[in-house]
């Protein structure tokens, strides 16, 4: 059995531990593993020479603790409309003698994997995205590390913000889903959390911040800073984002970033001191947290077990806190977005803290 493993889409902490987990699992059964560099790109090129690397158990220790992807990433879409390269993939898989591909990625990479699998390329998926919005799984690699970066950064920023009584806009990632903003902001005791799932009015934002500042005033200067956590994919009511000139990747996405700065520029005349910072790639660049190492290892090992059990065309997933395998097509279902009614307090533009209902035992 010869397994090809690849990492596609944006990098995320946990990819290398997952590769290590695949190699660990494979060595248990005497399977061979080769790394395919730059995601699906490795299988759509004519000359695969520089894209292929042998991965033996000697890589496990090193990969287990590294951020990013030692196999590199790309947003190559082998099945893009108008540029379908399935035939080339099939040819390369045959040429390289691969029996199965383990693709580690998000909805785009695994969606392409599902399409290829339907066309006869054996694929198994491992979920990753710091946004934690994939259908079919409660966990995707990178989320926990990114949350920790948000939490620690908010703590660091608070020292400066406290000193200057700043209204601080902290921008975090999250294109369609605001989980990073919601859960990172919750842990950081943010004053306001803005998520893509709920469009807000600028006037509302100004009044909520103003109200919170008013309430803090009697507690003294120490409390006159406000932390606003903003997901990069937020929508401002009444303002349509027009990016006609934007460069799209092969999956049709343009890069986000800067909405926190935009909000700061809109509000800087309303408050004495406003500042902005985007955490951007610091969220993806940290070395993997304990959880991302553990989950990467488990996902990797179980992907190999799935090969052994003939579960081709499936993805490793976490459901109800247990590891399961789900059909790859699940990834194409609607993303896991925040249920605003359940988790978001629209009046305060903030997280609804989960409470035990009286009577619950
Ligand atoms: O999907 C994960 C993610 O981190 C999103 O939150 C973000 O919009 C995107 O990737 C940015 O990716 P890149 O700049 O690498 O294209």
Residues 6+ apart with CB under 8 A from 221: 165
Q: Where are the beta strands (DSSP E) in 217-358?
A: 226-231, 274-278, 314-319, 322-327, 344-345, 350-351
How many angstroms separate the CA atoms of 45 and 92, rounded? 8
| CATH at 68 | 3.40.50.450
Does residue 189 belong to any structural domain of this protein? yes
How many angstroms separate the CA atoms of 5 and 63, rounded? 14
Are 149 and 257 contained in the same domain?
yes
* pLDDT value of position 242: 67
Are 11 and 132 contained in the same domain?
yes
Decide if pLDDT at 157 tops 70.
Answer: yes
CA 343–ligand 1 middle distance (angstroms): 24
- Over range 340-355, report the average pLDDT: 96
Average pLDDT score, the chain = 96
* pLDDT value of position 361: 57
How many angstroms separate the CA atoms of 91 and 86, rounded? 9
CA 70–ligand 1 middle distance (angstroms): 18
Does residue 30 belong to any structural domain of this protein? yes
| CATH at 256 | 3.40.50.460
Catalytic pick from 131, 133, 144, 292? 131
CA 289–ligand 1 middle distance (angstroms): 19
In order of 138, 150, 183, 224, 236, the CA distances from 231 in angstroms are 20, 11, 11, 23, 12
Does residue 269 belong to any structural domain of this protein? yes
Q: Which atom of ligand 1 is nearest to the CA of 232?
A: 8
- Over range 77-95, report the average pLDDT: 95
Does residue 357 belong to any structural domain of this protein? no
As for how many domains the chain has, the answer is 2
State percent of the chain over pLDDT 90: 90
In order of 185, 272, 361, the CA distances from 288 in angstroms are 20, 38, 36
Are 313 and 180 contained in the same domain?
no
Are 131 and 150 contained in the same domain?
no
Ligand 1 contacts CB of residue 131 (under 6 A) = yes
Are 148 and 281 contained in the same domain?
yes
Q: Which domain holds residue 271?
A: 144-285
Ligand 1 contacts CB of residue 109 (under 6 A) = no
Ligand 1 contacts CB of residue 130 (under 6 A) = yes
Strands 32-36 and 52-54 turn out to be antiparallel
Q: Which atom of ligand 1 is nearest to the CA of 284?
A: 4
* pLDDT value of position 359: 65
- Which protein residue has the closest C-alpha to ligand 1 atom 13? 10
Are 7 and 138 contained in the same domain?
yes
CA 10–ligand 1 middle distance (angstroms): 6
- Over range 313-340, report the average pLDDT: 97
Residues 23-35 pLDDT 10s: 999 999 999 999 9
* pLDDT value of position 240: 76
Which of 257, 285, 313 is the last residue before a domain boundary? 285
Are 150 and 22 contained in the same domain?
no
Residue 182's pLDDT band, with cuts at 50, 70 and 90, is: very high
- Over range 108-120, report the average pLDDT: 97
Are 54 and 88 contained in the same domain?
yes
Q: Which atom of ligand 1 is nearest to the CA of 233?
A: 8
- Over range 114-126, report the average pLDDT: 98
Are 96 and 149 contained in the same domain?
no
Q: Of 105, 149, 175, which is best to mutate to test ligand 1, by the most ligand atoms within 8 angstroms of its C-beta?
A: 175
How many angstroms separate the CA atoms of 297 and 305, rounded? 12
Are 224 and 123 contained in the same domain?
no
Residue 107 and residue 331 in contact, taking contact as beta carbons nearer than 8 Å: yes
* pLDDT value of position 75: 95
- Over range 196-218, report the average pLDDT: 96
Does residue 358 belong to any structural domain of this protein? no
Q: Looking at per-residue confidence, does 241 or 119 come out higher?
A: 119
Does residue 337 belong to any structural domain of this protein? no
CA 360–ligand 1 middle distance (angstroms): 40
* pLDDT value of position 253: 87
Q: How many residues does the chain have?
A: 361
Task: Please give the torsion angle defined by the CA atoms of residues 53, 94, 128 and 60, in that order, rounded to the nearest 10 degrees.
Answer: -30
Does residue 179 belong to any structural domain of this protein? yes
Residue 135's pLDDT band, with cuts at 50, 70 and 90, is: very high
Are 165 and 50 contained in the same domain?
no
Does residue 216 belong to any structural domain of this protein? yes
Q: Is 309 among the residues known to form the active site?
A: no
Residue 54's pLDDT band, with cuts at 50, 70 and 90, is: very high
Are 238 and 313 contained in the same domain?
no
Ligand 1 contacts CB of residue 256 (under 6 A) = yes
Residues 336-347 pLDDT 10s: 999 999 999 999
Q: How far is CA 287 from the centre of its chain?
A: 15
Residues 6+ apart with CB under 8 A from 318: 137, 138, 139, 295, 324
């Amino acid at each position: 059995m010869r397994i090809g493993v690849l990492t596609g889409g944006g990098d995320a902490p946990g990819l290398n531990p997952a590769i290590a987990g695949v190699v660990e699992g494979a060595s248990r059964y005497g399977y061979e593993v080769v790394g395919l560099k730059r995601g699906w790109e490795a299988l759509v090129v004519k000359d695969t020479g520089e894209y292929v690397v042998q991965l033996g158990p000697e890589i496990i220790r090193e990969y287990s603790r590294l951020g990013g992807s030692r196999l590199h990433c790309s947003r190559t879409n082998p099945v893009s409309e108008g540029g379908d390269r399935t035939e080339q993939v099939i040819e390369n898989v045959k040429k390289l003698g691969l029996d199965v591909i383990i693709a580690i990625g998000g909805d785009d990479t695994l969606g392409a994997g599902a399409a290829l699998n339907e066309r006869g390329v054996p694929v198994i998926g491992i979920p990753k995205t710091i946004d934690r919005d994939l259908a079919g799984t409660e966990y995707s690699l990178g989320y926990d590390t990114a949350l920790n970066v948000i939490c620690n950064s908010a703590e660091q920023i608070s020292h400066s913000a406290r000193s200057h009584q700043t209204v601080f806009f902290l921008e975090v990632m999250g294109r369609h889903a605001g989980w990073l903003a919601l859960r990172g902001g919750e842990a950081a005791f943010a004053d306001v959390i803005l998520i893509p799932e709920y469009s807000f009015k600028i006037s509302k934002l100004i009044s909520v911040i103003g109200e919170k500042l008013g309430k803090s005033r009697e507690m003294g200067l120490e409390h006159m800073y406000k932390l606003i956590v903003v997901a990069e994919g937020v929508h401002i009511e009444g303002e349509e984002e027009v990016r006609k000139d934007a460069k799209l990747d092969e999956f049709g996405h343009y890069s986000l970033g800067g909405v926190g700065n935009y909000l700061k520029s809109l509000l800087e005349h309303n408050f004495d001191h406003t500042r902005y910072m985007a955490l951007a790639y610091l969220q993806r660049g940290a070395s993997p947290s304990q959880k991302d190492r553990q989950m990467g290892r488990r996902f990797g090992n179980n992907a190999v077990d799935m090969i052994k059990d003939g579960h081709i065309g499936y993805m490793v997933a976490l459901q109800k806190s247990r590891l399961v395998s789900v059909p790859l097509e699940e990834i194409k279902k609607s993303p896991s977005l925040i249920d605003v009614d359940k988790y978001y307090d629209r009046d305060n533009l903030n997280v609804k803290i989960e409470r035990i209902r009286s009577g619950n035992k």
